[in-house]
Amino acid sequence: MTTEWQNYAGEIGELLGLKGSPVAITYSMEPPSKSVGGEYRVCDAFLHSRDGKVIDLTASTSACSGGTWHLGLGERPKGEADKALKEFLVNGEKLYCSIATFHRAPTLTTSPPLGLAEHVVMSPMDKAEFRPDMVLFICNAEQACRLVTLDGYDTGIPPRLEMSGSTCHQAVAYPIISGELNVSLMDYTSRRIRGYTAADLIVSIPYHRFLGVMRSVPHCTAGRAKMEIPESFRRLVGDEALRDLED
């Protein structure tokens, strides 16, 4: 028997014309019954799960110490590891001009969910064993616009975005902790990973909000509803101004 979220995977994927599957992400104290094994960087795991793999990230299977920390699977690197990380960020990646600037970025954003769980399970949503804590979309700008619009259809509440820091912070940690939808342009180093395109960005939606997205699909023009122009508005602006808006 398929689950609610597995059924939603096909519906939202078809609606948006997604490449691959939405990614279901669950924090769990237990491992999934099946996963591919091996070590993965978090930003690689997004791609592999989109393309069909179930990945179980733990303190030992996360291949990036920064990702391990940002997901809450381990403490921030200390000692020589911390020194090497700062050296890389400032003189290697060159994403920050100084270690003081780097320090400011995580200090002024949401802290990682340390101790929340031992496993962060990433699955294509149509195969997800566990109820998702959040749903992650690798998508283009138009698809992102539709998701954000569907999210706000019922409530009118604008998303409170956090677009600074590492990709794993923006795409997983912040939505998990805050319960907010987030849109990430990704950090520039992550964008260099093979598999991402210049048009890709990430939309992360906590599952309780994703349910609202799906409820909105039949009623909102960002979903399946057709635009209808009331005659009062047509008289106000004229047919020429509306030509490109009507289906």
Q: Which amino acid is residue 166, in one-letter code?
A: S
For residue 205, pLDDT over 70 is answered with: yes
Residue 245 above 90 pLDDT?
Answer: no
d(CA 20, CA 236): 43
* Residue 202 or 66, more confident: 202
In this predicted structure, the answer to whether residue 7 has a pLDDT above a threshold of 90 is yes
Helix, strand, or coil (residue 29): coil
**Can you tell me the distance from the alpha carbon of 70 to that of 190, in angstroms, rounded to the nearest whole number?**
14
- Say which range, 39-48, 121-130, 234-243, has the weakest mean pLDDT: 234-243
Amino acid occupying residue 127: K
Hey, what are 117's tokens? 């769980």
Q: Is the pLDDT of residue 224 over 90?
A: yes
Task: Tell me the range of 81-90, 93-102, 198-207 where mean pLDDT is highest.
Answer: 198-207
User: Which of 148, 146, 170 lies closest to 158, judged by CA?
Assistant: 148
| Segment 14-56, tens digit of pLDDT | 999 999 999 999 999 999 999 999 999 999 999 999 999 999 9
pLDDT of residue 209: 97
231 CB burial (10 A radius; 0-12, 13-18, 19+) = exposed
Per-residue model confidence (pLDDT) at position 52: 97
Segment 190-207 mean pLDDT? 95
Predicted confidence at residue 179, as pLDDT, reads 97
Average pLDDT over residues 178-182: 98
Determine the average pLDDT of the residues in 58-87. Answer: 92
Q: How many helices (H) and strands (E) does the chain have?
A: 11, 6
Per-residue pLDDT averaged across 103-128, rounded?
A: 94
Strands 23-28 and 55-57: unpaired
Q: Is 197 helix (H, G, I), strand (E, B) or coil?
A: coil
Between 76-90, 114-128, 180-194, the lowest mean confidence (pLDDT) is in: 76-90
Average pLDDT over residues 90-107: 89
pLDDT of residue 105: 84
pLDDT at 247: 59
Would you say residue 211 has pLDDT above 70?
yes
Of 7-21, 78-92, 93-107, highest mean pLDDT:
7-21
Summarised one tens digit per residue, pLDDT across range 139-161 is 999 999 999 999 999 999 999 99
Q: What is the mean pLDDT of residues 169-175?
A: 97
Mean per-residue pLDDT for 194-201? 95
